[in-house]
Amino acid sequence: MCKKDLLMLDFESILKYFRVSLPKKCRNEEVARQLMRIATSLKVKKLKKYEHEFAALKGELSPVSFVRYRINPGTDYEAQDSADQYSSELERLKSTLLRAEEEKRRLEEEAVQIKEMLKREVNRAETESSRNAAIIAEYKQICHRLDNEQGTAKAALNQLRSQIISCSQCCDLLGTKGVTTTDYHPLGDGEVPLQGCGDGDPQLVRAQERIRELELELAQTKLAHVEAECRNQDLVHQLHAAAAELQVAKNSWPPWLHKTLSSIKEVANKKELVSTAAAAAPQPQLRRDSAPTTTGLARDSHSRENLRGMVDTGTT
């Protein structure tokens, strides 16, 4: 019997062949020698390979599956192999889906954190900008008040000069002393000749120093305001960039992941709808054996009228 015919037999036929038919054939010396030559001509490597495969298969399969495989080694093993392959592919897809969901959840949490951080920074920048605007408005009011004071002091100084010039005694007195100084006054339009005034009015000197201090503070405030506006613009640009990156990350997801997530959401929504419908379903009412009497109808109508009156009074 050839190898192909032997493989086509079932387990009982193979046992019968090796236990009955083959010993009968081996009674002849030539047949026995031919069988020994065939046995010695087989390669040991293949036998070792078959032995390892047999041991692995015997360890993987249950006894019933192993006997079934020995009886019909073709279809069941292929079906089991394909089922194992599909199950492994399913497990791999499930793990991939879990990783994708975890990645999505992590990206959403990072996006929420970035949005909150940017929102805090924008609020802080807006608060600082409003504070700087209030400071600038206050300094503008101070500068306007100082300008008014400067105009008043200049008018008083011009009036004093006109009085000195109109007084002949003052002019003679100043002429005899011979003191003529030309000082630059910050409240005037340029060089104002002051005769016999010494170092000038101390109030005007203090006002000049105060004006210089306020101008310096105003310049510093303007610089801080410009820096705050720059920081605000940087934060706005960062917010737009983060939103664009988040949109790109959402668009970069594979289509099968979108389909899987949408199908999972649909199943969850259907389950919720079914549960709510089952909870909201009306309970079956028992059939009344007798018809309502006139007293019962009158009582029901009276209770409805009372309820309607209470509702009307409540609405009014």
Q: What is the 3-state secondary structure (H, E, C) of 148-167?
A: HHHHHHHHHHHHHHHHHHHC
267: buried, middle or exposed (CB in 10 Å: 19+, 13-18, 0-12)?
exposed
Whether residue 121 is contained in a domain is answered as yes
What pLDDT, on a 0 to 100 scale, did the predictor assign at position 97? Answer: 92
Whether residue 129 is contained in a domain is answered as yes
Q: Of 49-58, 98-107, 214-223, 284-293, give the lowest mean pLDDT range.
A: 284-293
Q: Is the pLDDT of residue 216 over 70?
A: yes
pLDDT, tens only, 153-199: 888 888 887 877 787 777 666 655 444 434 444 444 444 444 444 44
Domain of residue 174 covers 116-253
pTM score above 0.85: no
Whether residue 232 is contained in a domain is answered as yes
Whether residue 142 is contained in a domain is answered as yes
Whether residue 74 is contained in a domain is answered as no
What pLDDT, on a 0 to 100 scale, did the predictor assign at position 281? Answer: 59
Output 82 or 238, whichever has higher pLDDT.
238
> How far is Cα 77 from Cα 66, in angstroms, rounded to an integer?
10
**CB neighbour list of residue 195: distance below 8 Å, 6 or more residues apart:** 164, 174, 179, 180, 181
Look at the chain and report how many structural domains it folds into: 1
Confidence label for 209 from pLDDT (cuts 50, 70 and 90): confident
Q: What is the mean pLDDT of residues 130-155?
A: 84
Whether residue 172 is contained in a domain is answered as yes
**CB neighbour list of residue 141: distance below 8 Å, 6 or more residues apart:** none
Whether residue 240 is contained in a domain is answered as yes
Whether residue 49 is contained in a domain is answered as no
pLDDT, tens only, 78-96: 666 677 788 888 888 998 9
Q: How far apart are the first and last CA of the chain?
A: 107
What pLDDT, on a 0 to 100 scale, did the predictor assign at position 78? Answer: 61
Output 215 or 262, whichever has higher pLDDT.
215
Output 300 or 100, whichever has higher pLDDT.
100
- 201-204-205 Cα angle (round to 5): 90
Q: What is the mean pLDDT of the chain?
A: 72
